[in-house]
Amino acid sequence: MRNASVIVDANLEAGRGEATAIITNDNERLTFAELHRAVCRMAAELAELGVRREERVLLVLDDTPAFPAAFLGAMRIGAVPIPVNFQARPEDFGYFLGDSYAVAAIVDDAFLDKVSPELEMRRHVRRISPDLWRGEAEEVDPVPVHADDAAFWLYSSGSTGAPKGVIHRHGDMEATSSLYAEPVLGLKAGETVFSSTKLYHAYGLGNNLTFPLSVGATSVYLTGRPTPDRLFERVSTHRPDIFFSVPALYNAMLAHPEFENTDWSPVRLGVSAAEPLPPEIWHRFFEKTGVEILDGLGSTEMLHIYCSNRAGSVEPGSSGSPVEGYELMLRDEEGEPVADGEAGEMWVRGPSAFAGYWHQAERTREKLVKGWFASGDRYHRNPTGNYVYEGRVDDMMKVGGLWVSPIEIENRLIEHPAVREAAVVSVLVDNASRIKASVILVEAQSGDDLLATELQEWCKAALLRYQYPHLVEFVEDFPRTTTGKIQRFKLRT
C-alpha cells in the first residue's frame, strides 16, 4: 500500500514540477515542486518535534498552502492529521483534542483566541506554527504503510448529535479520484478547479486537494467566508474549468446583482453536493450560464461522491446513478431491500468507505454492516434509474452543507423564559433549506416579530452561527401521535 502523501510526488515524476499546483488567496502561485518541498519540510518539522507514527495531529487551518503541507506532511511520517471546522466553538476544540488524544495542533493565528485556552489546559499537546512549511527542505521519504493503517480522520456529526471521528485509510483518497474525479468529471492535468467548500470538509478535501493533485490540475484557494461577491472574483480572475459549491451558495449567487456581470464561459462543469440541489436552481443557473451542474450524493464516511449525475445527461432533481466501483441498495427499517419504486434508506458499498468511528464501536456496528454503510438518507429510484432524495431517515437537518441537530436548537429555545416547548425542522424556502422553529409560549406571553427576532439572537448567542431558526412560528400545540410524540413531518409543510 502506498503512503497517500505520494499524491504530490507523482507530479514531479510526471515532469510537472514547475506547473502551478495552488493559487493562493493573495494570488501567489505555488508550483508542484514548491508544494513537495513544503510537505517534506512540515514532515521533517513534525518528526523533529517528536510526533510519531499513528499519533494524531489536529489541524485548525483555513485554505492556505499550510493545509496541504500539514495534511500530507503528517501522513508522510505515518502520523494521522485531523482537519476540523475552524468555525467551531472553543469547547468543540477541547472535545476534538481530548477525544482524539492529539499530541500536536497546527493552528492558524486567526483562530488562536478560540483554540489556545483548550491547549493551555492540555500542556502535553504541542502547538505548531502553520508557517513551518516555508523554506528549503531535505527530501523526506514517506514511511511504508499497511492497507489497514489510518491515514487521516474527519469529524462528522450524526443522529447522536456528538461529533464522530471518522477514520479513513491510505487508499481512500486515491479511490475517490480514480472512480469519480477522472471518469465522471473528466478532470485532467493543466485544468483549474475552484471549490467554495473548505478543505476541512470531506467534499472540499476532494475538490481542492485530492482531485487536482491526483491528475496535475491547479487549485484556486479562498480564505475566509465564501460570499457570492468573493466567489465571482475568483471565477472571473482565474477562470476555473470546474467549479464546486453547494445549493445554498448557487442560490445566493443567482440572487446577487453581480451574477450577470460574471463570465462563466470558461467553466465547463459545476458540481454540487452536501445537500440536494433543487431543480429550479439547476435550471436558472443553466439558463444564465450554459453550465451544467452535476448534483451528487456523498458523505464523510464515504469520503466523496458515490452517486452522481453525468455531463450531458443530467436529470435535475435527482442525485443521478451510482459511480462505477460503488454499489447502492435501498433498504427498509428492518434492513431488507425495498421493492422497485419504493423508498428506503440508502446503503452504499465501495473502496473509499471509512474504517469506523473512533470511540464509537456500537455506532460503527450499526452503520457499517458487512462493508455496507447505512447512510441515513431516504431515497427512491425513479423509472430512469436515477436516485431521488426524500429526506433524512432521522430528524437531522443539513443547511448550507452543514449538519444541524434540531435537539440542540430546541434545548436552547426552551431555556428562554418565554418558551414552553419548541420543535425544529428543515423546510424549503426559495429553493434553499432553512430551519423553522415552531414554538409554544408560556402563559401570558404573546408571539410577535420582536420576540421571534429575540429568539433567533438567543440561539446565535450560544450555538454556532448557522444553528438558529430562520423562521419562527408561534403555535398553540403541535401535531402529535396518540402517545404525545411530535409528528415532525407535519411541521415541514
Instruction: Write the pLDDT tens digit of every residue in 383-432.
Output: 999 999 887 777 767 777 777 878 789 889 988 999 988 999 989 888 88
* pLDDT at 306 > cutoff 80: yes
Contact 69, 41 (CB under 8 A): yes
Mean of the per-residue pLDDT values for the chain? 93
Identify the pLDDT of residue 157: 66
pLDDT, tens only, 95-142: 999 999 999 999 999 999 999 999 999 999 999 999 999 988 899 999
**The CATH number fitting domain 4-381, selected from 3.40.630.30, 3.20.20.450, 1.20.1440.230, 3.40.50.12780:** 3.40.50.12780
d(CA 158, CA 202): 15
* Position 161 confidence tier, pLDDT thresholds 50, 70, 90: low
Q: Is 471 left (phi over 0), alpha (psi -120 to 50) or beta?
A: beta
User: How far apart, in Å, are the Cα atoms of 88 and each of 129, 182, 194, 402?
Assistant: 20, 33, 24, 12
CATH number of 405-491: 3.30.300.30
pTM for this predicted structure: 0.84
Q: Where in the chain is the domain with CATH 3.30.300.30?
A: 405-491
Q: Dig out the grid coordinates for 112 from the structure.
A: 488562536
Q: List, by residue range, all CATH 3.40.50.12780 domains of the chain.
A: 4-381
Residue 168 pairs in a beta bridge with 152
